[in-house]
Amino acid sequence: MIWFLIFLDLIIVLIVTLVLFFSLIGLIRSMGVPFVPLTKKQLESVNKYIKLNPNDRVVDLGCGDARVLRMFKKQGVKDLTGYEVNLLAYLLAKIKSKSLKIYFKNFKKVDLSEYNVIFCYLLDYYLDSLKEKFDKELKPGTKVISYAFRIKNWRRPEIIYTKTSRIFIYTIE
């Protein structure tokens, strides 16, 4: 009996250790995703050229500390959501933007069909992996606003040239 209890204890310790180990790996990996937010000037240029409507349903894919969403909030937009996997950026977003919907979640696992404005400031690699998802989920009329990076080999964008960069706007037909 005593051997059985010792064996059971060992199994429990092993399971707990494995759970802690994989949680730690997940945490370290999530912190490794680079968080490079828009600068004040870049943000001002988005504010100048992108004017949204109060009833738009907006999502920022990889919202960082949610500065873009807060800017759209000042424009009067009511429905604002952000997804972020960098833990530090997510916590900052939560602290700074109490009234916004901010989730610690991989945006690839989110159904995007409920949004009519998708904002992203993401590298080519990430944008490339989103094309198929956009094609599948986005409804006609939805706008995809990609700051600085073109979504290669996809639809034809309207391009806004700002002082510091370009903004690519795709409209789903």
Binding residues for ligand SAM (CB under 6 A):
33, 35-38, 60, 62-64, 67-68, 83-86, 89, 106-108, 121-122, 126
Least Å distance between CB 3 and ligand SAM? 47
C-alpha 145/C-alpha 50 separation (Å) is: 9
Least Å distance between CB 161 and ligand SAM? 18
Least Å distance between CB 13 and ligand SAM? 34
Least Å distance between CB 112 and ligand SAM? 12
106 or 162: CB nearest ligand SAM: 106
C-alpha 50/C-alpha 33 separation (Å) is: 27
81 or 86: CB nearest ligand SAM: 86
84 or 142: CB nearest ligand SAM: 84
Please report where in the chains the tokens 């204890």 appear, as a residue. 9
C-alpha 94/C-alpha 104 separation (Å) is: 10
7 or 41: CB nearest ligand SAM: 41
Furthest-apart CA atoms within the chain: distance in Å: 76
Q: Name the phi and psi angles at 167, rounded to 5.
A: -120, 125
In the 3-class helix/strand/coil scheme, how is 86-138 assigned residue by residue? CHHHHHHHHHHCCCCEEEECCHHHCCCCCCCEEEECCCHHHHHHHHHHHHHHC
10 or 25: CB nearest ligand SAM: 25
Chain residue whose CB lies nearest ligand SAM: 62
Least Å distance between CB 157 and ligand SAM? 18
Nearest 5 degrees, angle CA 125-CA 127-CA 132?
A: 115
